[in-house]
Amino acid sequence: MTPPRLTDANGRPFPLDRLLGSGGEGDVYALLNDPNRVAKVYNDRHQPDTQKVEKLTALIALANPQLLTVAAWPTELLLHANTRRVVGFVMPRLVGYQEIWQLYNPAERLKAFPRAGWTFQVRAAANLAAAFDEVHKAGCLVADVNMKNAQVSAQALVRLIDCDSFQVRANGKQYLCEVGVEHYTPPELQGKHFRSVVRTENHDRFGLAVLIFQLLFVGRHPYQGVYEGAGDPGFVQLITEFRFAQGPMAHSWGMAPPPHTPTFEDIPPEVGTLFRRAFERGSESGTRPRPGEWLPVLRQLEQSSVECAADPGHRYWRGAKGCVWCRLAAKGGPEYFFGVAPGIGTFTVDDAKLQEVLRRLATLRPTEFRYDRNRFAPQVPPEPEPLTDVLEEHQNITLVLGIATAFCILAMPLGFIRKFFFVIALLGSIIFGIWFWILLSRSPRRRELRRRRRARTHAVQDLEVIEGEWDRCVHAYLRHHAELSRWVHRRIDECRGLAVTFQAELKRLTENAEAIARQRHLRFHLLTDAEIPNIGGSRKRILASFNVITAADVEWDKIHQIKGFGDALTRNLMTWKAAVLATFRFDPAAAISPGEQKATVVRFRAQQQQFLTELDRGLIELESLEPACRAKLQMLVPDLKTAIAALEQAEADLRLLRRGE
C-alpha cells in the first residue's frame, strides 16, 4: 500500500521513505531526509476525528526535551496533501530498541539481550520509572501500559511508544485512552470499559509496578503464583481479588510464589514494601508508589548488588542469603542468567562437580556393623542360682547311704570268719543299696539339672531370634547401600555421556545446516541461465511449466515423467545438477547460528543440572542409610542385652550344678 502524499502543518511537502512497521492503528515510515524521526500515518479505519486531532495538538504543545528523550513524543502534525486533513504525525525515531517483554522473559532475553544480567534489568526498571515520572510531570498518563509499549535499548535506556494513545489533560479537558491490557490493569479497573473511564496516576502506577516486578522477578507477573485455595480462578479473577503471590502475607490469601523463582528474601525490604504497596488490597485507595519513589530504591539496589563467586554472570542483592540464581539452578530450576558472562559458548561436563560427588561417595563406605556378643554381655558375671538346702541334705543322706552300702559290701569277706557277718553284710548292702539306688534315681539334683539345661536351651533360642534380626538389618542396609552406589555410578556415567550427546547434537545441527545450505546453493542456479546440451529455450519453458526452475527442482523421476524428456535429456539435466553441486562449498564452523548453539548449550546444561540434582538427592539418601540402620540396631540392643544376660545366667546356673558332680 502506498502512503498518501503528505505535507507538514505549513503545507510544505513531506516525503516518506520505506515502511518500518505496522500497528493496529497505522503504519510507521522512515523519512526521506531525516534519519532521526519517523512518521506515523493512520490507516483508513482509524482516521483521526476532531477529538483525536485536538489530542495530538495538545500532545505536540506539551513536547519538551525531557519528554522527547523518554518517549516517542509527537512533534508535528502531518496533513494529507489534497484533503488537508490530519492523517498522522512526526515523532523521534527509535533505533535499536526492543519490546520490554523481550528483556524480562528469560527465554526471549537469551536471544534479544544475551548479555543482560539482573542488574541490567534493575537499571532498566529505574529508567522505566524515570520515563513514567516525566510523563506524569507533563500531566499525562501512559494509560495503556503493556509489554510492548515500553521499549528498551542495549544500554538499558527505556522509551515509551504509542504516545498518541496516552491519556492527556489539556485545555481543561481529558482525552482518554480507550484500550488496555488486563495484566497491566489494576484490580479496581478490571472489567470496566475504558471508553468512559478517566484513569488516575494511581492506575498508571499499577502498570509501572507490574513491569518493574516482571523485570526483577524473571518475568513473573505479581499475581502469578501457586493458588492454594479451592476452584480454578482465571488470572483476571486473581488480579481482581488482589492475590499477590509474594510477600509475608501471601499465604493468608491462599497464594504461594511460583516454583523456581526468587522471593522477597532476595530483594531489599524497601523494594518489597513498594511492591506490597502496589499490589496488596488497599492499594486502590491511592497508596501505590509514585515513579519518583522507585528511583532511589532501585538505584540503591543496583549499587548493593554483588557478583557471584561461581558465575560472574550472576549478580544478586548483597543482603540475600547467597546467590539466588545458583540456588534456583541447584534446586533443578532454569539457569536464568547462563552465558551472561562472556566466554561460555559451549557445553562441557562439569567434571569437578562429578569428582565431588565421587569424593562424597568414597566417604560413604558401608559400615560393617560387625556383631560381637561380648559387647552386650553384662559387665559382672552373673551370680549362679544357689543350690537349696534340700538338695544338700538329700545329698548328705545319699552320701551316707552310699558309704553304708560300700561298707556293707566291703564287710562281706568277714563271712569267712563268721557266716553270720556275711548274712548281715549282704542284707545290709542289699537294703542300703536299694535305698541308695532309690534316693539316687529320684534325685532333686537331677531334676534341677534338667531344668537348668532347659533354661539354657530357651535362652539360646531367644538370643538366636534377636541376632537373626540384627543380621537381617545389616544385610538389608548393605544391599541398599550397594544398589544406591551402583545407581550413583551409573548416573555419573550418564552425565559424562552428555558430552558425547552434545557433540552429536552439534553435528546433527551442522549437517542440517549443510543440507539447507546445499539446497539454497542449488536454488541459486537457475535453469534459464544454464547451458545444457539439447536444452534450449522452448524446453526450458516446458520445464518451467512443470515448476522445474532451478537446479534444486531437477530430479530424475520428476523430469522423466514430463512428455518429451527421455533418458538422454534427463541425463543431461542430471549431469548439470551434479556439476552445480560440485561447486558447493560449506564452512561447518559458521554453520550453526550463535543463538541456536546457545539454546543447545542451555538445554544440555539444564539436563546436567537435573542429573546433579538427582545425584545430590541420591547421596543424601545414601548418607541417611547408615544412621537409619544404626538406629534400628540400637532398638534391638535392650532385648539383646536381656537375652545375653539370660543365657549367661543359665550357663552359670548349669555350671554351678555340674561343679558339684
Partner 1 sequence: MAEQVPFGDIGLASNPEPRCPCVLLLDTSGSMAEIVRDAGQDLGQTRQVDGQTYRVVSGGVTRIDEVNEGLKAYQADLNGDSLAAQRVEVSVITFGGTVQTVCPFVTAAQFTPPTLVASGETPMGAAILQAIKAVTERKKLYKQNGLHYYRPWIFFVTDGAPDRDDAWPMAAAKVHEGEEKKQFAFFAVGVEGANFDILRQICSPKRVPLKLKGYSFREMFQWLSQSQRSVSHSNPGQEDQVKLTPPTGWASL
Ligand X SMILES: Nc1ncnc2c1ncn2[C@@H]1O[C@H](COP(=O)(O)OP(=O)(O)O)[C@@H](O)[C@H]1O
463: alpha, beta or left, given left = phi > 0 and alpha = psi -120 to 50?
alpha
Based on the shown chain and the rule CB under 8 A, indicate whether residue 606 belongs to the binding site for partner 1. yes
Residues 610-629, interacting with partner 1 (CB under 8 A): 610, 613
Residue 378, amino acid: P
Per-position x/- string for 159-198, each x denoting binding to ligand X as judged by CB under 6 A, each - no binding: --xx------------------------------------
Per-position x/- string for 1-20, each x denoting binding to ligand X as judged by CB under 6 A, each - no binding: -------------------x
Based on the shown chain and the rule CB under 8 A, indicate whether residue 113 belongs to the binding site for partner 1. no
> Closest by alpha carbon to 605, among 419, 344, 385?
344
Furthest-apart CA atoms within the chain: distance in Å = 178
Contacts of 285 (CB under 8 A, 6+ apart): none
Based on the shown chain and the rule CB under 6 A, indicate whether residue 26 belongs to the binding site for ligand X. yes
Per-position x/- string for 511-550, each x denoting binding to partner 1 as judged by CB under 8 A, each - no binding: ----------------------------------------
307, β-bridge pairs: 315
Contacts of 604 (CB under 8 A, 6+ apart): 347, 498, 501, 502, 505
**CA–CA separation, 144 vs 180, rounded Å?**
5
**CA–CA separation, 316 vs 327, rounded Å?**
11
Residue with Cβ nearer partner 1 (89 or 223): 223
| Choice from 37, 80, 260, 496 touching partner 1 (CB under 8 A) | 260
Contact assessment for residue 580 and residue 302, using Cβ atoms and an 8 Å cutoff? no
Q: Which option in ligand X, partner 1, none does residue 129 bind, with CB closer than 5 to 8 A by kind?
A: none
**CA–CA separation, 367 vs 373, rounded Å?**
18
Based on the shown chain and the rule CB under 6 A, indicate whether residue 39 belongs to the binding site for ligand X. no
30, β-bridge pairs: 38
Query: Interface with partner 1 by CB under 8 A: which range of 155-163, 168-176, 230-238, 641-649?
Result: 230-238
Residue with Cβ nearer partner 1 (599 or 628): 599
Q: Which option in ligand X, partner 1, none does residue 399 bind, with CB closer than 5 to 8 A by kind?
A: none
| Choice from 61, 107, 400, 516 touching partner 1 (CB under 8 A) | 107
**CA–CA separation, 325 vs 113, rounded Å?**
18
Neighbours of 306 (CB within 10 A): 14
Based on the shown chain and the rule CB under 6 A, indicate whether residue 38 belongs to the binding site for ligand X. yes
Q: Which residue is nearest to ligand X (CB)?
A: 23
Question: Could you give the dihedral angle defined by the CA atoms of residues 360, 365, 366 and 369, in that order, rounded to the nearest 10 degrees?
Answer: -120
**CA–CA separation, 424 vs 544, rounded Å?**
151
Place of cell 539482573: 118
Report the half-sphere exposure of 161 (CA within 13 A, side-chain side): 22
> Closest by alpha carbon to 55, among 38, 37, 74?
74
Per-position x/- string for 126-165, each x denoting binding to ligand X as judged by CB under 6 A, each - no binding: -----------------------------------xx---
Query: Interface with ligand X by CB under 6 A: which range of 87-95, 247-255, 463-471, 474-482?
Result: 87-95
Based on the shown chain and the rule CB under 6 A, indicate whether residue 91 belongs to the binding site for ligand X. yes
| Choice from 52, 80, 93, 453 touching ligand X (CB under 6 A) | 93
Residue with Cβ nearer ligand X (93 or 111): 93
Residues that bind ligand X (CB under 6 A): 20-26, 28, 38, 72, 91, 93-94, 161-162
Residues that bind partner 1 (CB under 8 A): 99, 101-102, 104-108, 147-148, 180-183, 214, 218-221, 224-227, 232, 234-236, 245, 256-261, 331-334, 336, 561, 606-607, 610, 613
